[in-house]
Chain A
């Protein structure tokens, strides 16, 4: 029997949540920082869910933002066009959560569809096919005038806020953590390590690959929905392959297969990208060099190359922090 203990992840998350709430309400932390935190948390969901597909199960997917697009458009359509939710009405929140989950489920269905090619294709071939699927999803939304076409889906109510995004990120972490530390997770890992061997010891690789894709897609869909309700719009260009690549960068910078790494990298890279705004301006102001915001991404790209050259395994390697791992009861 395992003794009941308050898990570390819950404690740490709760403390962080309360601290951030207090800092913000006391106006020690301004809305800008909170906004970056919100964005980082959405990236955490995207990165951790991609890591399940890419890092844990070893299925190289380049179309992750396609799932987010499905989640964004489905939930956004529900809240803005179907339910036409008025944010002040009493049942707004439950309807919103319903819409977000519906978006996640729709993305999961697409995930299952995209998971099937992974049964036949491997490595780079799978990557290019998932990229293709992602681009097709984007093209489809771009051509449906009901959801705005190239104008984007507009007028989505602003429902996403820090507590909701935080809760979603927490749930994602817990679910993915529990999954990968279960026997299912070990089956997925064995597919990454050696698919043939996994099959030989009787692991149903088909089942686990499709499972990874559908669960990964579900959470990506949730993230897409949250983002759409944070920005109050969804636009096809937000979900192109360059964005998928950004998520990919996060999981590799964090360490493949480590959800701790994905979480840290999602925060680190988001804050880095924002910090460079201030950094570049400070350099320009102190040195008098005529450099502006256009140099921000140059520095970002260089840092990325250096991280990979000098910390090839990513920030965390394939290790997990003790906060993430489930404690074995003594």
Chain B
């Protein structure tokens, strides 16, 4: 039993959870405002990783002393790539269908996701192969008693925490955040307040995509191997985490992500066969007990 619930396993679970959290944050924002399962979100994550990869090599070639400057631009590139592609996807594929049945945009979302994956995989200079991700920041392992934690894991956890707090403040305290919440709750009413909801939605995609991009960079640093289909599984898991925490709820997404990370870790440590299904099992149990997720707001159906 010791090896199942040891400090090391807790650290392992937190690491897995923080990557899920980073993707889930953007996922839950976008879902909250357009109520669309954005299948392409995991691909924005993947694009962020590739943008970071490319930028790293360009900067390494240009600048002799790497370190800080490179890391900054790599982060910028990953966020820009994720954000801009998310924005473009919204404008080209989702916006024209905004007032059509919601499921038609779901299919375009699937189409966009397939396109991004297959396109990158077919593109000669990218290709389907696994690419070794460089150490943007040198990796240092820190010993805590019998457990080991790497500086990358600490960065992951910190970034997830900072982004969560920042996003919560943005949404709760700023006028822009309130407008975003208004749009997510009632689009017509928001328009009647003079809010340009398309701008609000576009902004949300930009932020959500940028977060996904940053998550791609961090995932690349944590698990130094990237490929065009790398977004599918984490995207799915992050979506589950977002639903688990209560979709549209920012702390909920992070909570859901860490619950999933820890549950998967403990389950795999207990018996590797059940590790794979545990995320789904937890999800089903939670939703059956609390259909709006752990922290989801109860909005009763009114006649």
Chain A residues near B (Cβ < 8 Å): 60, 117, 120-121, 124-125, 127-129, 131-133, 135-136, 139-140, 142-143, 196, 241-242, 245, 248-249, 252-253, 256, 290-291, 294-295, 297-298, 300-302, 304-305, 308-309, 312-313
Contact = CB atoms under 8 A, between A and B. Distances in A.
Residue in A117, A125, A127 whose Cβ sees the most chain B Cβ within 10 Å? A125
A129 B283 contact: yes
Contacts of B280: 131-133, 135-136
Contacts of B247: 124
A298 B119 contact: yes
A152 B291 CA distance: 35
Nearest to B110: A245
B84 to A, nearest CB: 18
A312 B111 contact: no
Contacts, number: 115
B115 interface: yes
A275 B279 CA distance: 39
B128 interface: yes
A125 B287 contact: yes
A25 B276 CA distance: 48
Contact of B284 (A129, A256, A298): A129
Contacts of B108: 304-305, 308-309
A213 B276 CA distance: 25
Nearest to B112: A305
B277 A121 contact: no
B193 interface: no
Interface string B89-115: 000010011001101111110111011
A301 B113 CA distance: 8
B168 interface: no
Nearest to A309: B96
B37 interface: yes
B301 A125 contact: no
B118 A136 contact: no
A272 to B, nearest CB: 13
A124 B247 CA distance: 10
Given A129-B284, A301-B112, A304-B108, 6 more contacts: A132-B280, A298-B115, A300-B114, A305-B108, A308-B108, A312-B97
B37 A124 contact: yes
A249 B118 CA distance: 17
Contacts of B239: 128
B97 A135 contact: no
B168 to A, nearest CB: 23
B122 A294 contact: yes
A125 B291 contact: yes
A295 B273 contact: no
A97 B272 CA distance: 37
B287 A304 contact: no
27 contacts: A117-B287, A117-B288, A121-B288, A125-B291, A129-B284, A129-B287, A132-B279, A132-B281, A132-B284, A139-B276, A196-B301, A242-B232, A245-B110, A256-B101, A290-B124, A294-B121, A294-B128, A298-B115, A300-B118, A301-B111, A301-B112, A301-B118, A304-B110, A305-B93, A305-B108, A308-B108, A309-B108
* Chain B interface category by residue count: 35 or more
A210 to B, nearest CB: 15
B303 to A, nearest CB: 6
Q: Give the dominant DSSP class at B's interface.
A: helix
Given A129-B283, A132-B240, A304-B107, A297 B114 contact: yes
Given A196-B301, A241-B236, A309-B93, A120 B291 contact: yes
A298 B122 CA distance: 8
B178 interface: no
A28 to B, nearest CB: 34
Interface in B7-48: 31, 35, 37, 39
A290 B291 CA distance: 51
Given A117-B288, A128-B243, A245-B110, A252 B103 contact: yes
The 3 A-B pairs of least Cβ separation, nearest first, read: A132-B280, A301-B115, A301-B114
Contacts of A124: 31, 35, 37, 243, 247
A115 to B, nearest CB: 13
Given A305-B111, A309-B93, A125 B276 contact: no
A241 B107 CA distance: 14
B103 to A, nearest CB: 6
Contacts of B97: 308-309, 312
B192 to A, nearest CB: 25
A300 B291 CA distance: 36
Nearest to B236: A241
A302 B110 contact: no
Contacts of A301: 111-112, 114-115, 118-119
Q: Which of B97, B100, B105, B115 has the largest count of A CB atoms less than 10 A from its CB?
A: B115
